[in-house]
Amino acid sequence: MISVSIVGGSGYGGGELLRLLLGHSQVEVKQVTSRSHLGEYVYQVHPNLRKRTQLKFTDPAHLEPVDVLFLALPHGQAQKKIDEYAAQAPQIIDLSADFRLRDAALYEKWYGVSHAAPAWLGKFIYGLPELHRSEIREGRYISGVGCNATASNLALLPLVQAGLIDLSAPVISEIKVGSSESGAEGNAGSLHAERANVIRTFSAFGHRHTAEVIQETGIQDVSLTMTAVDLVRGALATVHAKVKPGTANKDLWKAYRAAANENPFIRVVKEQRGIYRVPEPKIVAGSNYADIGFELDESNGHVVSICAIDNLMKGAAGTAVQCLNLMKGWDEMTGLDFPGLHPA
Amino acid sequence: MNTVSCPECEAEITLDASTEVGEIIVCSDCGVDLEVTGLDPAEVNLAPMEQEDWGE
């Protein structure tokens, strides 16, 4: 049994992380901090945790040493105090965007501000086990993953690993996202009257998560187009690319099957009957699974690769716990075995 | 043991001893319907399946 604490536990990502850690057989949650909800029971902010814990939000200034520290702060905050946090725990998993990019210049390009702790960027490992499993096992500092980047990266994973993409053509990732992606702090666009029933493209290109896709896939000519849809949880990446001449359906099956065999949370969904023939976010809601599927037009090499995830799970907290399991040498699926609901 | 390769996804499929020619089996990987067209050697062909179209 190890001790963990969460710094910044009042947001959706922090709440989802706490839900997972409270149910984890190898973990004791020591503290959950929040300045804005100081002294409140955590279940008063995360109502699904009533009767699961009597923890109260504590002051981040009174953080105590633990084995592993999770940071679930708004983007830009963890980097300002990373030295303080590192003094409290030998291992850190940061869910924010602060340590995802390896290059400080790239961080400034995509986030519009200079990084406050550039020397730390090289110490962090990008926390997507499907791409960095062996490094995470040996790691001390693990970054979070962007939910939209994760949906895109996992849709591309089989194609990239098998070397099937024709890189002379652009890669387009069209992503539909639920409202929980925008966090627990509201804005005018998240009012029910404005957010309900939408299919709203809010970022045609240039979304920050694009940097993670470029960094992790090595594909330079890739664009992410973000569309808000009427979901609470879920992200669906529909990736369009060209495959190399001569690539057949059977080659893609081989690549996708290999990805699923190598990664316990990846499932291939490409059904010929029934209702759920392609990946759908509602089927993975609450679970750490990433469902991937594809269709190939063999006549012109156009491939459509699809990935469905729960943005708060595989796109954030679930992947963070998966990293914890790897760092500690536990079964990768410990505490993450919930398969989702049907119907949902 | 009679095994065949799925013509759609190349998954290896093991036929039951009781399998008969003309029988429709389902590929456990890609889910296509396959018609058993031979047993010695074992052969399967893609069988027609209902397509989904919500655009009409």
What's the domain count of chain B? 1
Q: To the nearest whole angstrom, how far is the Cα of A250 from the nearest Cα of chain B?
A: 5
ipTM of the complex as predicted: 0.81
pLDDT level of residue B55 (50, 70, 90 thresholds): low
Residue A80 in contact with partner chain B when CB distance is under 8 A:
no
CB < 8 Å to B50, chain A: 273
Predicted local confidence at residue B53, as pLDDT: 66
Which parts of chain A sit beneath pLDDT 50?
Answer: none
Both A115 and A196 in one domain: the answer is no
Per-residue pLDDT of A171-206, as tens digits, reads 999 999 999 888 777 788 888 898 899 999 999 999
Predicted local confidence at residue A66, as pLDDT: 98
Size of interface A-B (CB pairs under 8 A): 28
The closest of A249, A228, A211, A264 to A101, measured between CA atoms, is A211
Both A35 and A162 in one domain: the answer is no
Is A140 domain-assigned?
Answer: no
Q: Are A79 and A7 in contact (CB under 8 A)?
A: no
Is B33 domain-assigned?
Answer: yes
Is A22 domain-assigned?
Answer: yes
CATH code where residue A240 lies:
3.30.360.10
Residue B24 in contact with partner chain A when CB distance is under 8 A:
no
Both A282 and A204 in one domain: the answer is yes
CA distances A102 to A15, A27, A126, A253, A316, Å, are: 27, 30, 9, 32, 19
pTM recorded for the entire structure: 0.95
CB < 8 Å to A273, chain B: 31, 49-50
What's the domain count of chain A? 2
Cβ contact (<8 Å) for A257 and B11?
A: yes
Cβ contact (<8 Å) for B32 and A250?
A: no
Both A162 and A114 in one domain: the answer is no
Is A135 domain-assigned?
Answer: no
Q: To the nearest whole angstrom, how far is the Cα of A253 from the nearest Cα of chain B?
A: 6
In the sheet that holds A2-7, the strands lie side by side as A57-58, A27-33, A2-7, A68-71, A91-94, A141-143, A124-125
DSSP letter for each residue of A139-195: -SEEE---HHHHHHHHHHHHHHHTT-B-TTS-EEEEEEE-GGGG-SS--GGGSHHHH
Is A342 domain-assigned?
Answer: no
Predicted local confidence at residue B1, as pLDDT: 66
Per-residue pLDDT of A32-42, as tens digits, reads 999 999 999 99
Token readout for B28 is 């456990």
**Which structural domain range is residue A228 located in?**
147-310
Per-residue pLDDT of A268-317, as tens digits, reads 999 988 889 999 999 999 999 999 999 999 999 999 999 999 999 999 99
CA distances B30 to A149, A257, B27, B34, Å, are: 27, 10, 6, 11
Both A157 and A36 in one domain: the answer is no
Both A164 and A301 in one domain: the answer is yes
Predicted local confidence at residue A181, as pLDDT: 84
CATH code where residue A27 lies:
3.40.50.720
Q: To the nearest whole angstrom, how far is the Cα of A170 from the nearest Cα of chain B?
A: 27
Give the whole-angstrom CA distance, residue A344 versus residue A282: 6
pLDDT level of residue B56 (50, 70, 90 thresholds): low
In the sheet that holds B24-26, the strands lie side by side as B24-26, B33-39, B42-46
**Which structural domain range is residue B41 located in?**
2-46
Mutation target among B5, B6, B10 for the A interface, most CBs of A within 10 A: B10
Both A288 and A188 in one domain: the answer is yes
Which residues in A79-113 are b (16+ Cβ under 10 Å) and which e?
Answer: bebbeebbeebebbbbbbbbbbbeebebbeebbee
CATH code where residue B39 lies:
2.20.28.160
Per-residue pLDDT of B4-54, as tens digits, reads 999 999 999 999 999 999 999 999 889 999 999 999 999 999 998 877 666
Residue A254 in contact with partner chain B when CB distance is under 8 A:
yes
Is B11 domain-assigned?
Answer: yes
